Chains A and B, each alone.
Chain A
Amino acid sequence: MPLKGEFTLPKNTQQASAHEKKPVGMLSTFFEYPEGVSFLNQGENEEIILLLRRDFITNVPWILTAIGLAIVPPITAVLSSLFFPFFTLSGQTLFAILTFYYTVVFGFILLEFSLWYFHVGLVTDARVVDIDVINILARDVSEVYLNDVKDVSYAQKGALATFFNFGGIFVQTNVTLQNVEFDSVPRPTEVARIISDLVGTKPRE
């Protein structure tokens, strides 16, 4: 109960001032209190505490594939002039082939980047949301309210995960509700601790 003449900030303003929000970067994989981020069915006063994506190192295979695909045409041009000198195409046809080829390479990059970019985990002050984009035609959105969380655990498996400090987070509920799993997220110990602090349990390895 405020004293007479005392000015009291609303609860939301108090929370916002306690945690400074910062604009989230394009390639952010671990970001606390992101600014300018929202998701479908977000509550009016629901605050995003943590934004998670798979560690950037998990993108290396498709980035290398894209670089490999990008250098295929010059190599093919050299080889075809050596082994198939009789096979000639007009400049216009070559231009069309190359333009199409690099459009496909661009499409591949756009697809792979989108699969990574939209595959996010969100921890809010009310729930844990996991948006899994499995492929271009399949996505799986699961969420668990913090009240229903029974256990939070994490796992780091393999040399790469240990070296780059990423791993899986498992947010478990009782048997009647679905569980949420974040895979290959950076700093799993810290993520587990943040969720556990919100829930009021101890993280388990």
Chain B
Amino acid sequence: MNAQDLINLTIAFLSDFDFIVKIILIILLLPYLLFALILAQQIFSLGKSYNQINFSPIIKTLSILHVLAVIAVLLYVILVL
């Protein structure tokens, strides 16, 4: 592979916006998934410190849905894009 091939390859890579976005999304989604897991864990933990029977299950469910949404987006980016 000579210098010209390398330049052509780089130009082809940089012109494929979709591929670049896919890489960026994966890089952002992985730490965000960690944040979502910590948030859900903390909500469950705080639910033990203070429990309001009529609403605590809702906020816990929302935190699980948030984690599932992040996993769904991550799988979509990896498998579909």
Chain A residues packing against B (C-beta within 8 Å): 23-24, 26, 34, 36-40, 87-90, 92-93, 96-97, 99-100, 103-104, 106-107, 110-111, 113-114, 117-118, 120, 122, 131, 133, 136-137, 139, 141
Contact = CB atoms under 8 A, between A and B. Distances in A.
A93 B69 contact: no
Nearest to A23: B54
Contact of B63 (A34, A39, A96, A110): A110
Given A99-B76, A110-B62, A93 B22 contact: yes
B49 A136 contact: no
A96 B76 contact: yes
Contacts of B49: 39-40, 118, 131, 139, 141
Interface in B1-42: 17-18, 21-22, 25, 28-29, 32, 35-36, 38-39, 42
Contact of A88 (B17, B36, B39, B81): B17
Interface residues of B, number: 36
Interface SS of B by simple majority: helix
Nearest to A35: B53
A131 B42 CA distance: 14
Contacts of B54: 23-24, 26, 36
Interface of B: 17-18, 21-22, 25, 28-29, 32, 35-36, 38-39, 42-43, 46-55, 58-59, 62-63, 66, 69-70, 73, 76-77, 80-81
Contact of A111 (B17, B39, B76, B81): B39
A96 B38 contact: no
Q: Which 8 A-B pairs have the closest CB atoms?
A: A36-B53, A118-B46, A26-B55, A93-B18, A40-B49, A103-B69, A38-B51, A100-B73
Given A40-B49, A106-B69, A110-B66, 6 more contacts: A37-B50, A37-B51, A39-B51, A100-B25, A107-B39, A118-B49
B73 A103 contact: yes
B20 to A, nearest CB: 10
A26 B58 CA distance: 10
